Homo-oligomer: A and B are copies of this chain.
Amino acid sequence: MARIDRTADNVTIIDVAREAGVSYATVSRVINNKAHVKPAKREAVLSAMSRLGYVVNQQARSLAGGHSGVIGLLVQNLGTSWVGTIMRGVDEELDTLGYDMMLYTTHRAKSHEAAHVAAITRGVADGLLLILPRDTGSYLDSLRRRQFPYVVIDPQEIDETTPAVGVTNREGAQSATRYLIDLGHRRIGFITGNLELVSARDRLAAYRATLAEYGIPLRPELIAEGDFLQKRGFHAAQELLDLPERPTAIFASNDDTAFGVIEAARDRGLRIPEDLSVVGFDDIPEAANVHPPLTTVRQPLDQMGRAGARMLLHAIEHPEIEMRSTILPTELIIRSSCQPLPT
């Protein structure tokens, strides 16, 4: 009844070799599914492994030159639905392929990015997934040169040389703006995202272009600056609603901002959609739960995560193949926060 808990302690490849009566190189071969091992020995090793409860030590494996089986994920912040949903996609895809995830958060401190990237690429991970990185200039070149596999999700520069997955921001913003116009709205307010980001600039540009396309004069006072956060959306909406000629509809650059708009409207006793139509962007899970359910431009967040993970794993396993970036489609999801302008 002694040593029952053999599984608990550090059984190494050497213990397994001894137990199976082979050299430990052979054990390594079995573990890594290499050819050239006689079936009988393979069996012996396998059974010894399970008998002893052997688990590989990834560190050692990766140090010795094997792959680590983990990918690094770099994000700014946790806890928003937006990244949460993307991460879920990444995780699901990783899970099916047996990779683990090492998570790094930058907390918007640009300086952290480069440091984390350096740490990640120095061993810990086989590849790197970057979600909306901010300061890629300082390290992407280096990754590329060293042929370290990486993929950017929601990139800032979409040059063809960067392996990335993005979405059709312009088309999405266009369809939302058109929808509002088709509903009869002409005074359509717009709240921007954080204009440092191309996604924000693209959405704004599409809003402008679409108005122009319909011959609707652009009224600068109808554009308020936001930052993709609810609070700022709230204040921006207040500005818009204070205008002498109040907009009849507001297109917010993302859902969180739209929630701020809803809040501001409610504050003033305006009903949505009767008194004000609202459209968001992203379609985070909450969008369907607010009241009224928010009409919004869906980004396929989980698909973005999945696609990014898939591309990365592919790159890891086929380093020779050149990667191209992927652009996923957006889609207008019509719920109940808009209505035709009464004539």
Contacts A5-B142, A57-B63 known; list 14 others, CB within 8 Å: A8-B142, A10-B122, A53-B118, A56-B119, A58-B124, A78-B88, A79-B84, A79-B85, A84-B84, A91-B103, A95-B105, A103-B103, A259-B289, A290-B290
Docked CA distance A289–B230 (Å): 10
The 9 closest A-B pairs by CB, nearest first: A79-B88, A291-B291, A59-B59, A78-B88, A8-B142, A55-B118, A59-B123, A57-B123, A79-B84
Looking at the assembled complex, report how far the CB atom of A136 sits from the nearest CB atom of chain B, in whole angstroms.
15
Copies in the complex: 2
| 24 interchain pairs, CB-CB under 8 A | A8-B142, A8-B145, A9-B146, A55-B115, A56-B122, A57-B63, A58-B122, A58-B124, A59-B59, A59-B62, A59-B63, A70-B102, A79-B87, A81-B84, A91-B103, A92-B107, A101-B103, A102-B103, A103-B103, A259-B289, A266-B291, A286-B286, A289-B290, A290-B290
A122 contact set on B, CB distance < 8 A: 10, 55-58
The bracket for how many chain A residues form the interface is 35 or more
* Cβ–Cβ contact B56 & A145, under 8 A: no
Q: Looking at the assembled complex, report how far the CB atom of A143 sits from the nearest CB atom of chain B, in whole angstroms.
A: 9
8 Å CB interface, A17-59 against B: 53, 55-59
From residue A14, how far is it (CB to closest CB) to chain B in Å? 14
